Amino acid sequence: MNRPAYSCVAPWFGSNRTLAANVGAALAGCRWVGVGFAGGMCELLHLTASTVVVNDLHAHVLNLAAVLADYTNCFTLMQELNALPHHPDVLSAAQERCRAREAAAGDEWFGGSDRVTNPDLEWARDYFVCAWMSRSGSAGTRGEFTAPHSVRWDAGGGDSATRFRNATAGLAAWSEVMRRCNFVRMDVLKFLADVKDVTGHGVYCDPPFPDVGDGYKYTFAEADQRALAKKLAGFKRCAVVVRFYDHPLIRELYPEPLWTWHRFEGRKQTNEVASEEVLLTRNVKEKA
């Protein structure tokens, strides 16, 4: 499979771009994998299960994935994006249309169905513009449709317009990934209730982290964290992988030795001093 230029379908706040391969390694050998929080979807590049079911409440990114899963729609989307200038007026118009969709739809995305159907090409184009023309890391947050246009005022680092063009070019490779996946929009506890607790199945969850995750469009309170941890601890055969920063609440909810802690050095969204990321695993065969 060709690799896209960028390892996420949208530059998600807090995405697991640098450590996504560790998730794939932990779930290697699973025939079925459920992803509880899709986000930027970087982990999908590393999952080899014959069935992958991807869930999120974020309707915009799910619609984008559904459009990409169709070759014709993907090609048309790439043509339309390539015709756009990297311009603040293009971004602000797309943001306004995405805000209008939210105001008109309320919570009845996809006709009130859990399943993602009838992909909307114009909507996917608008959301891609919002995600890739604005400041990186705005996608998935409450401010994703008010984020400023991304322009670099010095020669250090990459160029914003080039980033947008490269992300557009990478959609052809992402189409291959999306065609392998099933997409649903459900509350994560309802999603997990449908997962069969059998050997050969796996679950990956990357929920909003305590404290630093408060800026997401769909937040996760302490009560949600506790309910998720209880549900995940109930799996006896299904392999489970969860991603977090090391945090007192997480140490309480996912104690060793019930959970195996794998520690990695991550990076904060503000590029401040690195925070310790952890992958927590249960029922996973440890590699020799």
pLDDT of residue 68: 97
DSSP 8-state symbol, 100: H
Q: What is the pLDDT of residue 1?
A: 61
Instruction: Please indicate, yes or no, if residue 4 is contained in any of the structural domains.
Output: no
The verdict on residue 232 lying in a domain is yes
Task: Specify if 7 maps to a domain.
Answer: no
Q: How far apart are CA 285 and CA 288, in angstroms?
A: 9
Residue-level pLDDT at 271: 44
Q: What is the C-alpha radius of gyration for the chain, rounded to an integer number of angstroms?
A: 18
Q: Does any domain span residue 132?
A: yes
Q: Among residues 279, 217, 214, 258, which one has the least CA distance to residue 19?
A: 279
Closest CA to 95 of 32, 58, 148: 148
**Which ranges of the chain have pLDDT less than 70?**
1, 106-117, 265-275, 286-288
Task: Give the separation between CA 214 and CA 227, rounded to whole angstroms.
Answer: 17
**Domain membership flag for residue 138:** yes
**Residue 9 domain-assigned (yes or no):** no
* Domain extent for 35: 20-282
Residue 240 lies in a domain: yes
CA distance 108 to 91: 25
The domain total for the chain is: 1
Q: Is residue 144 part of a domain?
A: yes
Instruction: Assign residue 120 the CATH number of its domain.
Output: 3.40.50.150
Say if CB 59 and CB 110 are below 8 A apart.
yes
